[in-house]
Amino acid sequence: MNITDPWDIVEEFESKVANYAGSKYAVSTDNCTNALFLCLKYFEDDDLFWNNNPKNITIPKNTYISVPQAIVHAGYILKFEDLEWSGIYQLKPLNIWDGSVRFKQDMYKGGYHCLSFHHRKPIGIGKGGMILTDDIEFRNWARVARYEGRTYRVKYEDDVP
């Protein structure tokens, strides 16, 4: 591997995780909550999907507190359901999955699968997250969005506003 800047390492890590999990792409984030938030924002203005219906997102009533916070912060209407789950659940009706407590080979089954690398999770690197996807347009959008909208792979001091 030819490392010329830190983004080379990030892309290598993303590639390794995507390959292990079974997705085409992976986008690293600072945590799973922000991964979920980015996914929610990506679909926020999709009028074909929402068709002027209320933007309700339904999740299990027993989940980590930051998940409902991210849903509300992203501008959606939060609904809870009484659902037993293990390892992964969907942010219904979107094809977004909270898989923050699971990390297994070939676990990716489609959509936008968010991971956590918290110190108590399977990859305990302290803090971090990732979004698994097969959607190249999303991958390209999320790489910019996670970087405060700055040009991907360009240092702050070199980025043109």
Q: Give the number of C-alpha atoms closer than 13 A to the C-alpha of residue 29, restricted to the C-beta side.
A: 27
Above 70 in pLDDT, residue 126?
no
Provide the token pair at 108.
Answer: 């990716």
**Longest CA span, the chain:** 50
Tell me the per-residue pLDDT of 76-92, one tens digit each, with 9 for 90 and over.
Answer: 999 999 999 998 999 99
Question: Pick the residue with more confidence: 14 or 152?
Answer: 14
pLDDT value of position 154: 80
pTM metric for this prediction: 0.89
Query: CB under 8 Å to 96, separation ≥6 — which residues?
Result: 36, 39, 40, 43, 90, 111, 112, 114
Is pLDDT above 70 for 146? yes
Q: What is the mean pLDDT of residues 86-110?
A: 93
- Give the per-residue pLDDT at 125: 65
Helix boundaries (H) for the chain: 6-21, 32-43, 47-50, 66-73, 136-145
The pLDDT value recorded for residue 113 is 97
- Say if residue 128's pLDDT is above 90: no
Give the tens place of pLDDT for each residue, 25-54: 999 999 999 999 999 999 987 776 777 778
SS3 65: coil
- Cα separation, 77 vs 32, whole angstroms: 20
Report which residue type is found at 1.
M
Q: Which of 60-87 are b and which e, b meaning 16 or more Cβ less than 10 Å from the residue's Cβ?
A: beebeebbbebbeebebeeeeeeeeeee
Q: Predicted confidence band at 58 (pLDDT cuts at 50, 70, 90)?
A: very high
